[in-house]
Amino acid sequence: MHPDPEVSTEHGRVRGRAEHGVAVFRGIPYAAPPFGPHRFCAPAPPPAWDGVRDATAFGPTAPKPPYPAPLDTLLPDPAVPGDDCLNLNVWTPDPGGAGLPVMVWIHGGSLRHGSSAVPTYDGTAFARDGVVLVSLNYRLGIEGFGWFPDAPANLGLRDQLAALEWVRRNIAAFGGDPDQVTVFGESAGAISLAGLLASPLSAGLMRRAVLQSGAPTAVPLDRADRTTRRIAARLGVPATVAAFAAADRDRLLRAQAEATGGSPLSDGAGFDLVVDGEVLPEDPATALMAGKGADIDLLMGTTTDEYRLWFVPDGTVDRIGPLTQRLALARFRVPRRAAAVYRKGRPGATPGEVLGALATDLLLRVPLGRLADARAARAESAGTYQYEFAWPSPVGGLGACHALEIGFVFDTLRDPATAALAGPDAPQSLADTMHADWIRFATTGAPGWPTWNQDRPVMTYGPETSAVVRAPRDAERRAWER
């Protein structure tokens, strides 16, 4: 392979780099910089360029505040300055090839953190194994998911659609098959992907999807402005696009960080997808349960101890006593029998651990299971597969926590950014298995275990081995039935 591979895209020619036997192109713009005349607007096409554009370094990341301590040590989140943040990266086995399967990664981060430059998301292993891997940046926080009456909603989701449209039009030049695109995402990336599956604007842009630790959700317009108004109050300005666009960017990020945060069970404001009547005509959960996206092969799952990333690092799990637990259960209308079943199944668990297990299932495992059931009930549905990641991290009592599986999927366990969450000695054999299953799904539509049926097969990764478990913790699942 030439050390400086070049490819022609619809907007101009790009020069990448040969690394570890694959070709890598970084920082390719798929839309115009979302600032100046494009601020708080739907993504516009990028300007074309003459000559050959250097694509050897990650492009600018979307404006974002850093993770708060102690998450900042567990979730490395590089920031690359610059306005041209609507960019993507491509790893390919052979830019001169053709017909290769394509996987597109949408990063997580609560819709306000993260980027495609996170080292854990390096696509080398996918390209090494015959896949064209694309990762992308999209607008975050108030710039991407704030709601204003005088601007389009779901700008970050519109960015993702624009990136997928770029893939559709350009990926053949990198050796990929535009008809064999699998989109996968984790946490907020999976929530975004569920929105894309439910959106009429995504037709023809993907064949398969993987939801990792994120379930379909969105809020109606009458609830969408809470976060915007909180930030506006911090800034001392009206909750309008004009006022926010005039604010100093660093000051805006500080106000955003002050006005948002907390765990999924706190009352802290955050960012959500919005049912806007255009990108999302209805709630994604409702749409998908009713059959939207039924023609898309779907792999989805969770980690066993999602809550530990939310509750353990700052000591929340130890501060939750019986009273706090009861108040949280009442607030989220958890059935009493569910709480009793979870306590019984976890002898010796603290109130915080029981509440965390309930939170994991309330927010993730239960809604994903219901979606799998709805798809399986339709004879015309494409394949539906479930997994659970159960290997526990040795780091700080995190267990099989939220985001832990990503380094196994990408086969990047030895990168220090991945080791921050997984430790230095995470089992390579487990990464080999999980990475291969994701590639098999992207290539064939079947990851290697039975599709979802009345037996409820779940591929369980670890802790000692990987195997299909039939209807795991079914008593807990049934306790949520009303």
Which bin fits 368, alpha (ψ -120 to 50), beta or left (φ > 0)? alpha
Of 200, 183, 193, residue with least CA distance to 216: 193
Question: What is the token pair recorded at 209?
Answer: 């999807």
Query: Pick from 13, 83, 82, 26: which is nearest to 57 by CA?
Result: 26
**3-state SS class at 72:** helix
Sign of the alpha-carbon dihedral angle for 392, 397, 402, 404: negative
Residue 125 · residue 412 · CB < 8 Å: yes
Tracing tokens 């064949």 back to the chain, one arrives at 207
Active site (annotated) includes residue 187: yes
Give 469's strand partners: 458
Long-range contacts of 247-250 (CB under 8 A, 24+ apart): 249/63
3-state secondary structure string across 175-242? CEEEEEEEEEEECHHHHHHHHHHHCHHHCCCCCEEEEECCCCCCECHHHHCHHHHHHHHHHCCCCCHH
State the catalytic residue, choosing from 110, 115, 187, 192: 187
Residue 7 in tokens: 């490819």
The residue from 306, 353, 388, 476 that is catalytic is 306
| Residue pointed to by tokens 């809550």 | 307
Q: What is the dihedral of CA 199, 65, 408, 382, to 10 degrees?
A: -10
Give how far Cα 163 sits from Cα of 37, 104, 275, Å. Answer: 20, 9, 21
| Residue 128 CB coordination number (10 Å) | 16
Please identify which of the residues 11, 107, 113, 402 carries the catalytic annotation. 402
Q: What is the DSSP letter of 363?
A: I
Rounded to whole angstroms, the Cα distance separating 434 from 439 reads 9
Among residues 126, 151, 150, 149, which one has the least CA distance to residue 139?
Answer: 151
Element of type H or E holding 135: strand 132-136
Three-state DSSP at 244 gives helix
Task: Say which residue the tokens 């394949």 belong to.
Answer: 383
User: CA–CA separation, 442 vs 362, rounded Å?
Assistant: 29
With tokens 């898309």, the residue in question is: 296
Q: Which residues are catalytic?
A: 187, 306, 402
